[in-house]
Each structure stands twice: as C-alpha cells, then as structure tokens.
Amino acid sequence: MCEYLRGGAGEGPSGTAGRPSSLPAASDPSEPVTPSSSAVPQAARLALGVELLGEFKNSGYSPPPFLVRRPDGQVIQMSRLLYLVATLINGIRSSAAIAELASADLGRSLGADQVRYIITAKLLPLGLIAGPGAPVAPPTASPLLALRARRTLLPETAANVVAALLRPLFRWPAVLAVVVSVGAVDWWLLATHQLAVGLDQLLRDPATLLIVFALSVASAAFHECGHATACRYGGARPGKIGAGIYLVWPSFFTNVTDSYRLGRAARLRTDLGGLYFNLIFILGMAVLYEATRAQILLLVIAVTHLEMLQQLLPFVRFDGYFILSDIVGVPDLFARVTPILRSVRAKGRIDPRVAGLRRGARIAVTSWVLCVVPLLTIIVGYLLICLPQINRALWRATVQQARLAGTAIGAHHYAISALDAIGVALAALSVVGSLYIVIGLTRRAVILGLRWSADRPVRRLIVAVIAALIAASLATLWASQGQFRDW
C-alpha cells in the first residue's frame, strides 16, 4: 500500500527532520559543543530517583527501545545509545571515560564531546540529569483523550496491599476454575433461564435500579483491583487506584505505569486482569442469587457482561486499547496517529517514529489508525455540528430529572428521588464533558495553528481565515437549525 509499510528497521529518513515532538528541542548538532561552556559538571550524575528499567520487552520496534523512569513516575522511551550513556553516568566518570566505555560497548567510536552533547541536549532537558541546567519542571506527557480530574481512592501503598492479598487469584488453577464456572453460569443463564423476570422486577419496583447501579459501580471498582493485582502478580508495582472523568464518563482508574517494565505476557495479564475480576464478580453474583433467588442479580450479571464487552473497544483508552498496544508492542498508539498520517502523505519519506516499527507492528498500527481517525472524526464532527442541540437535550433532561426528584421527595419515594438525583448529576456531567471536549480540541487546534504559522504572516492569515470560516459556518448551521431555541 505505502512505501513505509514494506520495510523494517533502519529506514529512517536521511537528514534531521521528524524529531519526536515530545522531545525538547536540542541545540544544533552541527555546531561544536564547547565542553567548558556546558552547564553539566565535569562528572554528570543522574537525578535522584531516576530508574533505568532496561529494554522494552517484546517491542514492535527494531531495534527495541529502552525505558527510564523519573521519580515523578514519568516513563521515557529512548534509543539504545542514549540509554547506554545514561547507564554509564555515575557522578564519578568523566565524559571521556563514559565515551571510552560506550565505544567499547557499541563497537563504534564515540567522542567525549559527543557524550557531552548527549547529556546536555538529550538527557538534561528530560530531567534525567542532576545539577545546574536541570529543568525546574521537567516535561511530562500530555496524551490526547486522557483521564482528567483524578481523585485518589486507594493510595499506592493500600493498592499494593490489596493486590498482594488478591494475588493468589491469578494462579492458573484459580483462573481455570473461574473461567469454567462463569461459562457454566452463562450457559445456565442464557439457555435455561429468563432475564425478563429480572427486568420485570425492575419495572415493577424501579427503586431496585439503585441496587443494580450500586452493584455495577462495585463491579467497576473490583475491575480496577484486578488490574492492580495482575500488575503485582507480574512483578511490577501498581500505583494508586482512583476515580476521574474520562471524556464525559465518570471512571475508576488504576495506575499500572510500572508494567512498562514487564514482558508482553505479563503486560497482557495486567490488561486482562480487570476483565478476569469481572468474571469473579459474576461468580459472586451467581452465588448470591443461589442464596437469595433475587432475580435482579441476574440482571447485574448481564450488565457486567455488557461492561466487559465495552471494555474491549480499542478506540479509546479502555482495556482493548492496551491489549492491542501490548500485542503489537507499541506503548502509545495515539502518539502514532500523526506520524503515520504524515508518512502516508509524504509518500516514502517516513517519520522516524514509524520507521523503527517492525513490519507486522507497522501494518497493525496503520490499520488501527485508519480505523480510529475516521471514527473519531465522525464522532467529534457530529458533536460539533449538534453541540447546542445535544446540550439543550441534556439540559432539559437535567431540569426534568431535578423536578422529578423533587416530586418523589414530596411523595416520600426516597429511592426514586435518589435515582433521579443520580440522573441529574450524570446529565449535568455530560453537559460539562461535551463542552470540555470541544474546548480542549479547539485549544489544541489553536496551538497547532499558531505553531504552524509562527513567524510566517501568510500562514498566520490562512489560519485566521480558516478559523473564522469554521466558526461562521458552525454558527450559521446552528442558527438555521434552530439549535439555540427552546432552552
């Protein structure tokens, strides 16, 4: 299909174009580096708490990258040479000594000036080197479509205690027993039982929806414990478990960044750990049903299955995204979107972030990009075109739910009023979330436009005209469709 899909390693472009945007700008390498003018002391040392994690195992890249973790938790993927120099920095060795050792390891000659260049231009701006010149606020990743408004529910220490306690659940006899048992429960539920009974109970007594809701939230929290436990079982240390807002959805989260250090199988176990704990939760519901015969529990089992299916979506940062990422060995798929589109457009001139991918990984990631870009474009486009209309509907729902909550309280139907209150909160959250998405994307577009047109008046004019055209078109469309009326 494309030139860049054919090859494997070593197809990087000639010249210096395409430095990853996440890396701070380096000084011009063509200029001689003056050792005495460097901010780096004679013998550089790594910043306190920097951890060298080694090779990113089962990588989709050739040659494989290496990983370093800063004390603030930021993981940095880097080339072998940068990593090699980082491993040789110990606060005692001079640049010349590092150069000598690195040359022996590489089988190629590396000079002391070049080591100083690597330290000053590559490692220091990333916050990996201690001493003068180190950035006060080292750069951190700001991924697209990330979780916002995080709140900690279980701090790292507590999450590790929970994970250590639940770790035996990942022994293979336990896994086998759970999977077979859930298979039996599902067969029984689908083949010999009627979910309609539970639905009927729900309709006759809608307040039972509160029970379904509460159990569903508990299932989601337990799901996250599954990720933390799997991470710990694999040999990495899970971080905190918490809650936040993902796009417009309230979500639980677990920080399993340390699983970058694991091999593919252990990373995949971490990804699947949440779904595995959903299965355990389903078994728990089945046992509870056996004891109580409460039909509503069967509905909870069905809902949990739907949540598991939703988790497998690979287009947003649910479990399916991480599963795909670990199968192909590429840690940040969203960061490949721009390089791949750029490489497709450039016809043969391959972005370095794509060039290093093995053929299989490149095909997989390109296919993912070709699916996710149209999908997200359609969703965001639809959101933009219908923004006032969507928010009008959400606002009306919010007002109506609030009124119903008041009515229910007046009639002393407190469970129903609680349900309506949840409805109010979720509808209001959706209003805020949709605006947040649009504002966030607009901000990114403006930054990109300003960057593209920096010191280029003609380009700046083009950006201004395009922005004005888009704004005018949307306003006209919204007004012509009456989206501002009847709020």
Partner 1 sequence: MSASTVTMEELELESAELLPNRETLCSGGSYHPGHSVSFTQVGYGNTAQAGLVNVSALNGSFDNILSLGSGNIL
Q: Can you say how many angstroms the Cα of residue 213 is from the centroid of all Cα atoms in its chain?
A: 26
With beta carbons less than 8 A apart as the criterion, state whether 159 and 256 touch: no
Cβ neighbours of residue 222 under 8 Å, at least 6 residues apart? 277, 278, 280, 281
Among 248, 370, 438, 445, binds partner 1 (CB under 8 A): 248
User: Locate tokens 């053929």: which residue?
Assistant: 359
Neighbouring C-beta atoms of residue 271, cutoff 10 Å: 25
Cβ neighbours of residue 8 under 8 Å, at least 6 residues apart? 62, 357, 358, 359
Tell me whether residue 429 or residue 467 sits nearer to partner 1 (CB atom).
429
Task: Quote the least distance from Cβ 202 to partner 1, whole Å.
Answer: 8
Residues from 63 through 82 that contact partner 1 (CB under 8 A): 65, 67, 73-79, 81-82
Residues from 437 through 466 that contact partner 1 (CB under 8 A): none
Tell me whether residue 301 or residue 463 sits nearer to partner 1 (CB atom).
301
Q: Can residue 328 be called a binding residue for partner 1 (CB under 8 A)?
A: no
H/E element holding 234? helix 208-234
Binding mask 345-364 for partner 1 (x = CB under 8 A): -------xx-----------
Task: Quote the least distance from Cβ 463 to partner 1, whole Å.
Answer: 27
Among 288, 303, 363, 402, binds partner 1 (CB under 8 A): 303
DSSP for 301-322, please give it.
HHHHHHHHHHHT-SSSSSHHHH
46 three-class SS: strand
* Region binding partner 1 by CB under 8 A among candidate stretches 115-123, 159-167, 359-367, 454-462: 115-123
Residue 363, classified by CB atoms within 10 Å of its CB into exposed (0-12), middle (13-18) or buried (19+), is: middle
Task: Quote the least distance from Cβ 99 to partner 1, whole Å.
Answer: 10
Tell me whether residue 141 or residue 465 sits nearer to partner 1 (CB atom).
141
* Region binding partner 1 by CB under 8 A among candidate stretches 21-29, 35-43, 184-192, 458-466: 21-29
Q: Can residue 426 be called a binding residue for partner 1 (CB under 8 A)?
A: yes
Neighbouring C-beta atoms of residue 444, cutoff 10 Å: 12
Peptide bond connecting 63 to the previous residue in cis, omega within 30 degrees of 0: yes
The site that binds partner 1 (CB under 8 A) totals a number of residues, namely 111
Task: Quote the least distance from Cβ 327 to partner 1, whole Å.
Answer: 15
Q: Can residue 12 be called a binding residue for partner 1 (CB under 8 A)?
A: yes
CA atoms within 13 A of residue 286's CA, in its CB half-sphere: 19
Among 94, 216, 338, 442, binds partner 1 (CB under 8 A): 216
Q: Can residue 249 be called a binding residue for partner 1 (CB under 8 A)?
A: yes
- In terms of Cα–Cα distance, which of 97, 95, 61 is closest to 80? 61
Binding mask 369-408 for partner 1 (x = CB under 8 A): -------------xx--x--xx--xx-xx--xx--x--xx
Tell me whether residue 63 or residue 184 sits nearer to partner 1 (CB atom).
63
